[in-house]
Amino acid sequence: MSDLVLVHTEDRVALITINDPDRRNAVTTEISAALRTAIEAAEDDPDVHAVIVTGAGKAFCAGADLSALGAATEDGLRAIYDGFLALADCSLPTIAAVNGPAVGAGLNLALAADVRIAGPAALFDPRFQKLGIHPGGGATWMLQRAVGPQVARASLLFGIRFDAQAAVEHGLALRVADDPVAAARELAAGPASAPRAVVVATKASMRATANPGTVDVDQHRIAVDVEIGPQAVSIESPEFAARLAAAKRK
């Protein structure tokens, strides 16, 4: 396991922490791959009934590393997405303990969880349009599913961000907690105390009945495919190159 992603399992709950606080836990392909490894290991462990994801330090996740993003082709983008798509695909109940800003791809990581607990410093910020990047990773579908079309469009088209309280008001987060990891552990005690087979089957049934005839992970994959072409084009644009150069000078 990479030191950039830490795993601590206790009381049938796996706590997965992105551990690059100096870079505000920005996602690289290495972090993404380590996230997938950690999530799949939790699924393969019969003693794990739920998964919590959080970030080390003051940020949850500051989005994709801009240098990695600037060099990405469609295959590279999918590699960056891979970690949070593993969370979205996870068969176990998942909670994002959003301890600080969740920006861009970091917002996607939070959205990929079943439930979000917001710390007082949480900030849910799409940031895509400000960076000149088309949303990716299924962001358009996940955000509309979480908060409805109007609020999702206000966020992705008009740049609306959500602090902790606003996130709860719009259904983006379940609650605000001074210690979101502790609150997530308290919530995870429910599936931790239940038979694992029942927990997994219940989540599978909820996925299948949200939109009868489809499964939500299939809808997510379709959204990723719809978004990836326009996102790749936006990353190749002179406008994004200028923003990337400016960010590197800082």
Q: List pLDDT tens digits, range 182-216.
A: 999 999 999 999 999 999 999 999 999 988 777 88
Read off the pLDDT of residues 132-145 as tens digits, 9 standing for 90 and up: 889 999 999 999 99
Transcribe 15-51 into DSSP letters: EEEE--GGGTT-B-HHHHHHHHHHHHHHHH-TT--EE
Distance, CA of 135 to CA of 128 (rounded, Å): 6
Residue 147, pLDDT above cutoff 70: yes
What pLDDT shows up at residue 142? 96
Residue with tokens 């919590």: 52
What's the pLDDT at 131?
83
Asked if 14 contacts 48 with a C-beta cutoff of 8 angstroms, the reply is yes
Q: For position 249, what pLDDT does the model report?
A: 63
Conformational region of residue 77, where left means phi above 0, alpha means psi within -120 to 50, and beta covers everything else: alpha
Q: Contact, 14 vs 52, CB < 8 A?
A: yes
- Based on the number of CB atoms within 10 Å of its own CB, is 246 exposed (0-12), middle (13-18) or buried (19 or more)? exposed
Residues in CB range of 220: below 8 A, 6 or more apart: 85, 88, 138, 141, 142
Mean pLDDT, all residues of the chain: 92
Confirm whether pTM is higher than 0.85: yes
CA dihedral 202, 111, 136, 169 (to 10 degrees): 130
